[in-house]
């Protein structure tokens, strides 16, 4: 990896692979389709990325919990916590597969971000080689191109990292972004570097009512198919929060953007409807998310009803929310 590090530090970009042969994203364990998936953030109260991480016992508890309901998870960064997640899946032979994230930050005139980006890329590649039976794909960066991004990257620099990753692994490679980027013609330039389109489609953030949420997701999914007809569309995030702060208003704020009912009953209804849509359409979809993440949205400096803390179907203490229990009961009755 020393040569790759030197290459990345130089700022030079590899040429695009020619001919560019799409790698098929196949979310299966044996003959079982596992596309009804979930996003996983591992940090509990008092923990946060780059600070204090969970113990192995806490990670294993999470993995066992998730494996009861999902077989495909998504993680967002390539760091030592992710490395432990993959090791635990392998050691305990858990029926879980992973889309491995590589977290990138804007690095122009920021040498610390640049070094962190390079470290993420190198570790992400190493993990894909160490765990070829677990990692099904790699997602390089998260929400760096959409117009509202607070983590906006130069697209040429993102492509440079994508090419470096893709030329060093055999799994499909993508980048995750909001549908408001992927639904525009200019996104085709980036999509041409990818094996599939990884789209975030959030009805709640886009002012949709619960009654319209699933039909809206379906419409956006087909819109993206039309924009990118040669590629598979994977929904990287969609969900419904159980709390938010209606008083936090202004451009881009939750109190202004969110119009739908927020709460346990609403999340339960959304989960039931989303599951029916996923199973009928067989569209790989990552529910956002498994567990509440109290470090988000300002952490301890923000109130508990900050929406970013409340997307999980489990509370931070790993107690299933009543919404999830209602969904599971409905699903169980449907299987009878």
pLDDT per residue as tens digits for the range 290-305: 999 999 999 988 999 9
pTM for the model stands at: 0.97
Residue 336 has pLDDT above 80, yes or no: no
Percentage of the chain surpassing pLDDT 70? 99
Q: Which sequence spans correspond to the domains of the chain?
A: 25-335
Residue 332: predicted pLDDT: 84
Residue 241 has pLDDT above 90, yes or no: yes
- What is the average per-residue pLDDT within 91-108? 98
Q: Tell me the pLDDT band of 243, cut-offs 50, 70 and 90.
A: very high
Residue 137 has pLDDT above 80, yes or no: yes
- What is the average per-residue pLDDT within 197-208? 99
Residue 177 has pLDDT above 90, yes or no: yes
Residue 164 has pLDDT above 80, yes or no: yes
Q: Are 235 and 284 in contact (CB under 8 A)?
A: yes
Residue 1: predicted pLDDT: 84
Residue 23 has pLDDT above 80, yes or no: yes
- What is the average per-residue pLDDT within 19-29? 97
Residue 301: predicted pLDDT: 87
- What is the C-alpha separation between 294 and 296, in angstroms, rounded? 5
Which three-class secondary structure string do you get for 115-181?
HHHHHHHHHHHHHHHHCCCCEEEEEEEECCCCCCCCCCCCHHHHHHHHHHHHCCCCCCEEEEEEHHH
- What is the average per-residue pLDDT within 165-185? 99
Q: Are 227 and 199 in contact (CB under 8 A)?
A: no
Q: Hey, what CATH class is 25-335 in? A: alpha beta
Q: Tell me the pLDDT band of 242, cut-offs 50, 70 and 90.
A: very high
Q: Tell me the pLDDT band of 109, cut-offs 50, 70 and 90.
A: confident
Residue 105 has pLDDT above 80, yes or no: yes
Q: Is the bond preceding 289 in cis, omega lying within 30 degrees of 0?
A: yes
Residue 71 has pLDDT above 80, yes or no: yes
Residue 190: predicted pLDDT: 98
Residue 335: predicted pLDDT: 67
**Alpha helix ranges (H) inside the chain:** 2-10, 56-67, 80-91, 111-130, 155-166, 179-182, 187-191, 213-227, 254-257, 264-281, 322-335
| Mean predicted lDDT score pLDDT of the chain | 97
């Amino acid at each position: 990896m020393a040569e790759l590090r030197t290459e990345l530090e130089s700022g030079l970009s590899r040429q695009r692979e020619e001919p560019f042969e799409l790698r098929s994203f196949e979310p299966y364990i044996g003959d079982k389709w596992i596309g009804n998936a979930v996003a996983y953030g591992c940090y509990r109260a008092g923990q946060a990325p780059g600070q204090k991480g969970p113990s192995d016992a806490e990670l294993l508890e999470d993995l066992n919990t998730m494996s009861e309901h999902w077989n495909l998870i998504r993680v967002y960064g390539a760091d030592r916590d992710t490395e432990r997640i993959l090791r635990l899946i392998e050691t305990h032979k858990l029926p879980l597969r992973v889309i491995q994230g590589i977290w990138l930050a804007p690095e122009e005139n920021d040498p610390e971000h640049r070094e962190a980006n390079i470290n993420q890329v190198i570790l992400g590649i190493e993990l894909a080689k160490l765990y070829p039976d677990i990692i099904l794909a790699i997602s390089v960066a998260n929400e760096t191109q959409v117009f509202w991004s607070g983590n906006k990257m130069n697209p040429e620099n993102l492509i440079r990292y994508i090419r470096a990753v893709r030329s060093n692994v055999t799994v499909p490679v993508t980048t995750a972004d909001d549908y408001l980027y992927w639904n525009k013609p200019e996104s085709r330039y980036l999509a041409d570097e990818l094996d599939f389109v990884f789209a975030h489609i959030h009805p709640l953030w886009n002012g949709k009512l619960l009654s319209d949420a699933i039909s809206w997701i379906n419409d956006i999914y087909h819109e993206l198919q039309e924009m990118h007809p040669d590629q598979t569309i994977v929904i990287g995030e969609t969900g419904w929060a159980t709390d938010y702060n209606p008083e936090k208003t202004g451009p881009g704020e939750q109190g202004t953007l969110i119009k739908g009912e927020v709460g346990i009953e609403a999340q339960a209804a959304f989960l039931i409807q989303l599951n029916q849509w996923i199973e009928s359409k067989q569209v790989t979809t990552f529910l956002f998310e498994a567990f509440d993440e109290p470090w988000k949205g300002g952490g301890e400096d923000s109130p508990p009803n900050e929406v970013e803390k409340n997307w999980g179907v489990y509370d931070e203490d790993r107690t299933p929310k009543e919404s999830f229990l209602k969904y599971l009961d409905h699903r169980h009755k449907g299987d009878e």
